[in-house]
Amino acid sequence: MKKNYLLSVFTILLIGSVSNVYAGWPIGKYRHIFTPSFTYYTSKNQWDQNGNKINGGNGSRFNAYSVGLYGGVGISRRADILASVNFTSQTSSIGGSRLPSVAGLGDATLGLSYNIAHWKYKRFLSVQGTVIAPLYTIKNTGNTLGYGVLGTEGKLMFAGELAGPSYFNAEAGFRHYFDEKGPNQIVASLTVGSALDKRKKHQLSADIGGISSYSTNRNLVAINPNLVYNGYYIKGSINYGYKFTNKFSIFGSGFTTLTGENAAQGSGFAVFAIFKF
């Protein structure tokens, strides 16, 4: 196994999605990953139920700042335990009328990833199961940190080397929230990246991914990206990272929503510090 190369690649795969830092590359037995992050998101435009873009000229806007903590522990060469939690502060206004701001802990996640197959430790096929638990309660203010109900997610992941220093990570899964209105969601993403130098200190990657959501709740929620009941969105990002040591790296990511229905059109950035031990 190319141990140093695998660790470098796994680190960059962690930032393949701003809202989801899990990846299909095993952490490794007795190894640990700890990732604090900061994310900023803003939106004033939206796509309606027909996919037509609506500019936010009516004074509607959404802003969110989030600090997240992610941890991963390799309990064997094939199995990893993964957990995350975040604190978010967000403000929003509709038609020029500002809604009450909200701040607090968002959804916490606890998951188990298992590598079901590998090809000479160069490509890995893994499955992951995750429990999603809200650490907040929904108040009737029109502004909330999420769906506010317990959820689960199952995901299939395929990751590995492409050619030379390049790599990929592909994921597809299903997410269900335990409420009579759901929603049920299909999630997918694809990350492709490469080291830019022989010492693999500089990393560059791009990813595209999205959510398709269905619920009996037909209400249009256009500005808040945390609430997509009936609709979809596709998001893209560019990520750059620098490895200071084999145990410490910093990454930055810029992202934007490319298209959607019944969804917000927004953009933002994220910064991650990754510690391995």
User: pTM to 2 decimals?
Assistant: 0.87
- What percentage of the chain carries pLDDT values higher than 90? 57
Q: Higher-confidence residue: 115 or 220?
A: 115
Reply yes or no on whether the pLDDT at 168 is more than 80. Answer: yes
Answer whether residue 152 shows pLDDT above 60.
yes
Q: What do you get for the CA distance between the two ends of the chain, in Å?
A: 18
- Give residue 225's pLDDT: 67
pLDDT digits (tens, 9 = 90+) for 256-266: 999 999 888 89
CB 256 within 8 A of CB 214: no
pLDDT tens-digit series, residues 29-43? 889 999 999 999 998
Does residue 231 surpass a pLDDT of 50? yes
Domains of the chain: 3-276 (2.40.160.40)
pLDDT at 8: 39
Question: Is residue 135's pLDDT more than 80?
Answer: yes
Give yes or no for residue 146 having a pLDDT over 90: no
CB 213 within 8 A of CB 183: yes
Give the mean pLDDT of 179-194: 92
DSSP state of 100: P
Tell me: the pLDDT tens digits for 13-33?
444 443 344 456 788 888 999
How many angstroms from the chain centroid is the CA of residue 246? 24
What torsion, rounded to 10 degrees, do the Cα atoms 251, 257, 262, 264 define?
A: 70
Where residue 231 falls (left for φ over 0; alpha for ψ -120 to 50; beta otherwise) is: left
Instruction: Identify the pLDDT of residue 101.
Output: 87
